[in-house]
């Protein structure tokens, strides 16, 4: 699932047509507390990294800068108040220019040159990083102003985001292509046949994975070792030991 | 081979070191990101080291902590006294499936420490206590990094003026220059091509490594051959028999200082990370025995693997050069 976080609706409106079964847009509201709350609400308690190993967080929004213009992929986020840095992993060749971003609590009216300024990114990274790996947190920022926000309107933000939709779509396609869920084969039937305990299940999985990596039909080995004739857990252990012995003596 | 790095993460305090300046010039196409401390990038939780492998980043840092460490008891000390390793860099530009670095670090990014003088000072302190045997290519492959970093030359230069230091530079790489000082040992890890192709990604072929060994021998350098780790593969007897025959035919072992032999072994703590990094690799999926906190092959498999190499080398008259990790 791709989770797109934007602070306000006018940043997200031009992207609404991208919403699908595997992409949602979440409006966080402005500022770090709202942003962290939105991420927390999206990934509720009880989920693990493993549950979310195919999920991607994208923060798309506008930002300020003294001298930079355009759409940027952020390679460093500094939380201005906490003095803490975060580094999303940039592992895809996107062709987008990169920049570092400072997340501030109030609009920065006197931005330093060479930097982007926003009000949510550090919180989204911090909250997201509890469950999402750094290569699957992507921050896209479009420069809307130079610290003077008087001229920034819903319409101007909307038009700015709209102008980058093709680039954003390209990136999302790239991300979708990169999501390849690992297929985990179930050995449930073997567990049943071998009357496996929890530790035996681990051993069976290990042997089946090793067999596959060696180009050997693990299931056939279990069958040949007498899996279907097992009547007790002890018998299941013996079969597992026989398979292990075969697999560790293939030379 | 000269690695390219998409990004260079640069500690602010590392900026003024000559090694930093040289590396930034060398990789002028890389995107440079300023960082406070290398651990902020290197130690991030839940990095995808598999994905990072295709786009490694370089981290340039100052090591203000310990730089030279006591070596692990599972490493061969060749009976050479106080045995240490130097952490000049962390991680490797190669990507061997079974490498303990994949288990130890949750990232494929490479750290190079640029405060080289501080390392040499710490080594000098150790030398005051007596002769030192130092592996300088331990948490990395300095030979492979030699196309990038000046570390290998730094250690070679230091060793040539400190005869009490026995310096081991272990590599799978093809190094292009050697010194013939008696206390600098070039240790080459050699594996059959079947193992190289399957598990030692991005490393030179066996032929290329043999050519490099012969070049070192011709220059009068101290050469150590490491048949370590021996890896369990299908038909390993046939494969390792052919391999040792090839070594005997291609390298004049009378001119090799010593030979180490060992089977694959790894700390039990590192195996989960290793399996996560290489989820389809038989090298790490093997159903290992657990012994004293280490994952090892069953005793009979170890004995057979070691026996193939040991017996052939003993038959050829090189038994006195062998160091075996059982």
* Residue-wise pLDDT tens digits, B240-295: 999 999 999 999 999 999 999 999 999 999 999 999 899 999 999 999 999 999 99
Q: Are residues A139 and A221 in the same domain?
A: no
In angstroms, the CA B269 to CA B252 distance is 39
| N-terminal to C-terminal alpha carbon distance within chain A | 44
Confidence of residue A23 (pLDDT cuts 50, 70, 90): very high
SS3 A146: coil
Residues 6+ apart with CB under 8 A from A54: A1, A179, A181
Q: Are residues A160 and A209 in the same domain?
A: no
SS3 B109: coil
Distances (CA, A) of B288 to A202, A207, B34, B151, B200: 13, 10, 42, 36, 20
SS3 B278: coil
Query: A23 lies in a domain?
Result: yes
Residues B152-170 as b or e (16 or more Cβ within 10 Å = b): bebbbebbbebeebbbbbb
Specify the DSSP element, H or E, that contains B58. strand B58-61
pLDDT at B77: 64
The predicted-structure confidence for A139-178, as pLDDT tens digits, reads as follows 999 999 998 888 899 999 999 999 999 999 999 998 888 7
User: Domain range holding B209?
Assistant: 7-325
Contacts 24+ apart (CB under 8 A), B164-167: B164/B127, B164/B130, B164/B131, B164/B132, B165/B123, B165/B127, B165/B131, B165/B132, B165/B134, B166/B80, B166/B81, B166/B131, B166/B132, B166/B133, B166/B134, B167/B134, B167/B136
Q: Are residues A165 and A78 in the same domain?
A: yes
Is B282 in Cβ contact with A87 (below 8 Å)? no
Which of A134, A205, A211, A242 best tests the B interface by mutation, with the highest count of B CBs <10 A? A134
Calculate how close chain A gets to B131, using CA atoms only, in Å: 43
Confidence of residue A185 (pLDDT cuts 50, 70, 90): confident
**Is residue B76's pLDDT more than 80?**
no
Q: What is the CATH number of the domain that holds B78?
A: 3.80.30.30
Half-sphere exposure of A222 (CA within 13 A, CB side): 23
Is B279 in Cβ contact with A251 (below 8 Å)? no
Count the domains in chain A: 2
Q: Which residue of A has its CA nearest to B7?
A: A90
Distances (CA, A) of A115 to A145, A146, B143: 12, 11, 38
Is B44 in Cβ contact with A87 (below 8 Å)? yes
> Which of B35, B54, B287 has its CB closest to that of A207?
B287
The whole-number average pLDDT for the span B140-158 is 93
pLDDT at B2: 47
pLDDT at B147: 85
Q: Are residues A38 and A153 in the same domain?
A: yes
**Is residue A182's pLDDT more than 70?**
no
**Is residue B74's pLDDT more than 70?**
no
Of A178, A201, A228, the residue at which a domain comes to its end is A178
Q: Are residues A120 and A212 in the same domain?
A: no
Is residue B284 within 8 A of residue A244, CB to CB? The reply is no
Query: B188 lies in a domain?
Result: yes
Query: A118 lies in a domain?
Result: yes
Is B280 in Cβ contact with A247 (below 8 Å)? no
Residue given tokens 């108040």 in the structure block: A81
Q: Are residues A172 and A211 in the same domain?
A: no
Report whether the peptide linkage leading into residue A237 is cis, meaning its omega lies within 30 degrees of zero.
no
Question: Which residues from chain B sit within 8 angstroms of residue A132, using beta carbons?
Answer: 46
In angstroms, the CA B297 to CA B100 distance is 16
Sign of CA dihedral A17, A18, A21, A25: negative
**pTM, whole model, 2 decimals?**
0.92
> Which of B7, B55, B285 has its CB closest to that of A209?
B285
In angstroms, the CA B73 to CA A47 distance is 40
Closest CA to A61 of A23, A127, A1, A116: A116
Question: Which residues from chain B sit within 8 angstroms of residue A90, using beta carbons?
Answer: 6-7, 31, 55
Return the CA Rg of chain B: 19
Is B236 in Cβ contact with A251 (below 8 Å)? yes
pLDDT at B211: 97
Q: Are residues A202 and A165 in the same domain?
A: no
Query: A110 lies in a domain?
Result: yes
**Is residue A184's pLDDT more than 90?**
no
Among left, alpha and beta (phi > 0; psi -120 to 50; other), residue A31 is left
Of A133, A151, A178, the residue at which a domain comes to its end is A178
Residues 6+ apart with CB under 8 A from B24: B8, B10, B32, B60
pLDDT at A71: 97
**Is residue A114's pLDDT more than 50?**
yes
Query: B1 lies in a domain?
Result: no
Q: Is A158's Cβ below 8 Å from some Cβ in B?
A: no
Q: Is A134's Cβ below 8 Å from some Cβ in B?
A: yes
Question: Which residues from chain A sit within 8 angstroms of residue B31, using beta carbons?
Answer: 75, 90, 98
The pairing of strands B165-171 and B132-135 is parallel
User: Domain range holding A122?
Assistant: 2-178
Is A87 in Cβ contact with B40 (below 8 Å)? yes
The crossing angle, in degrees rounded to 10, of helices A233-247 and A198-213 is: 20
The whole-number average pLDDT for the span A113-137 is 96
> Token pair for residue B63?
């090591």
Q: Which residue of A has its CA nearest to B42?
A: A87
Confidence of residue B1 (pLDDT cuts 50, 70, 90): very low
Return the CA Rg of chain A: 25
Count the domains in chain B: 1
Is B55 in Cβ contact with A91 (below 8 Å)? yes
Q: Which residue of B has its CA nearest to A52?
A: B46
Confidence of residue A181 (pLDDT cuts 50, 70, 90): low
The whole-number average pLDDT for the span B210-232 is 97
Question: Which residues from chain B sit within 8 angstroms of residue A94, using beta carbons?
Answer: none
Q: Are residues A142 and A228 in the same domain?
A: no
Query: B134 lies in a domain?
Result: yes
Q: Are residues A154 and A198 in the same domain?
A: no
Confidence of residue A183 (pLDDT cuts 50, 70, 90): low
Of A130, A153, A178, the residue at which a domain comes to its end is A178
DSSP letters for B171-229: ESS--------TTEEEEEE---HHHHHHHEETPPPHHHHHHHHHHHHHTT-EEEEEEEE
In angstroms, the CA B113 to CA B19 distance is 9
Q: Are residues A198 and A174 in the same domain?
A: no
In angstroms, the CA A196 to CA A210 distance is 18
Is residue B223 within 8 A of residue B216, CB to CB? The reply is yes
| Chain B residue set in contact with A, beta carbons under 8 Å | 6-7, 9, 31, 33-36, 40-41, 44-48, 51-52, 54-55, 232-238, 279-282, 285-287, 297-298, 300-301, 304
The whole-number average pLDDT for the span A26-52 is 93
Q: Are residues A91 and A27 in the same domain?
A: yes
Number of residue pairs across A and B with CB atoms under 8 Å?
Answer: 90
In angstroms, the CA A71 to CA A166 distance is 12
- Pairwise pLDDT comparison (A181 vs A242), residue with the higher score: A242
Question: Which residues from chain B sit within 8 angstroms of residue A209, using beta carbons?
Answer: 285
**Is residue B207's pLDDT more than 80?**
yes
Q: Are residues A173 and A192 in the same domain?
A: no
> Token pair for residue B148?
């990038």
**Is residue A192's pLDDT more than 70?**
yes
Query: A46 lies in a domain?
Result: yes
Confidence of residue A250 (pLDDT cuts 50, 70, 90): confident
Query: A183 lies in a domain?
Result: no
**Is residue A49's pLDDT more than 50?**
yes
> Token pair for residue B172?
């799978």
Q: How many CB atoms lie within 10 A of CB A47?
A: 13
Question: Which residues from chain B sit within 8 angstroms of residue A243, using beta carbons?
Answer: none
Q: Is A95's Cβ below 8 Å from some Cβ in B?
A: no
């Amino acid at each position: 699932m791709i989770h797109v976080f934007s602070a306000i609706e006018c940043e997200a409106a031009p992207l609404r047509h991208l919403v699908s079964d595997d992409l949602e847009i979440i409006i966080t509201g402005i500022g770090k507390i709202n942003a962290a709350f939105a991420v927390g609400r999206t990934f509720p308690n009880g989920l693990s990294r493993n549950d979310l190993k195919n999920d991607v967080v994208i923060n798309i929004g506008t930002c300020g800068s003294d001298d930079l213009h355009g759409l940027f992929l952020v390679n460093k986020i500094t939380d201005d108040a906490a003095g803490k840095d975060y580094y999303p992993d940039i592992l895809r060749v996107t062709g987008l220019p990169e920049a570092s971003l400072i997340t501030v609590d109030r609009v920065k009216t006197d931005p330093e040159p060479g930097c982007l300024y926003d009000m949510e990114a550090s919180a989204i990274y911090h909250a997201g990083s509890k469950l999402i790996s750094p290569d699957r947190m992507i921050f896209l920022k479009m420069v809307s102003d130079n610290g003077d926000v008087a001229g920034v309107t819903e319409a101007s933000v909307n038009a700015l985001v709209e102008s980058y939709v093709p680039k954003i779509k390209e990136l999302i396609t790239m991300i979708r292509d990169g999501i390849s869920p690992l297929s985990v084969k179930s050995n449930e039937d073997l567990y049943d046949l071998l009357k496996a305990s929890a530790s035996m299940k681990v051993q069976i999985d290990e042997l089946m994975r090793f067999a596959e990596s060696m180009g050997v039909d693990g299931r056939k080995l279990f069958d040949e070792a007498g899996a279907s004739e097992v009547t007790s857990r002890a018998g299941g252990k013996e079969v597992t030991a026989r398979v292990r012995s075969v697999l560790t003596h293939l030379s | 081979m000269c690695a390219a790095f998409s990004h260079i993460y640069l500690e602010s305090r590392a900026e003024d070191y000559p090694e930093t300046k040289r590396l930034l010039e060398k990789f002028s196409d890389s995107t440079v990101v300023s960082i406070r401390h290398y651990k902020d990038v290197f130690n991030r939780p839940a990095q995808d080291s598999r994905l990072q492998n295709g786009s490694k980043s370089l981290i340039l840092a100052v090591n203000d902590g310990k730089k030279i460490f006591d070596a692990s008891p599972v490493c061969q000390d060749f009976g050479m006294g106080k045995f240490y390793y130097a952490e000049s860099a962390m991680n490797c530009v190669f990507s061997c499936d079974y490498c303990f670095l994949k288990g130890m670090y949750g990232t494929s990014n490479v750290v190079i420490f640029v405060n080289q003088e501080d390392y040499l000072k710490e080594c000098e302190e150790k030398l005051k206590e007596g002769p030192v045997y130092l592996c300088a290519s331990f948490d990395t492959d300095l030979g492979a990094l030699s196309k990038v970093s000046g570390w290998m030359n730094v250690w070679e230069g230091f060793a040539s003026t400190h005869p009490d230091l026995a310096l081991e530079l272990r590599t799978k790489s093809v190094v292009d220059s050697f010194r013939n000082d008696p206390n600098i040992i070039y240790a080459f890890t050699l594996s059959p091509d079947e193992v190289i192709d399957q598990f030692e990604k991005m490393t030179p072929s066996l032929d290329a490594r043999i050519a490099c060994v012969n070049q070192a021998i011709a220059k009068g350098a101290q050469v150590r051959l490491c048949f370590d780790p021996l890896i369990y593969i299908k038909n390993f007897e046939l494969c390792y028999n052919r391999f040792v025959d090839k070594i005997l035919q291609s390298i004049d072992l009378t001119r090799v200082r010593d030979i180490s032999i060992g089977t694959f072994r790894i700390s039990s703590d590192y195996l989960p990370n290793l399996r996560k990094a290489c989820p389809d690799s038989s090298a790490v999926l093997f159903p290992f025995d657990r012994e004293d906190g280490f994952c090892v092959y069953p005793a009979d498999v170890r004995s057979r693997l070691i026996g193939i190499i040991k017996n052939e080398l003993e038959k050829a008259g090189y038994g006195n050069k062998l160091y075996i990790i059982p």
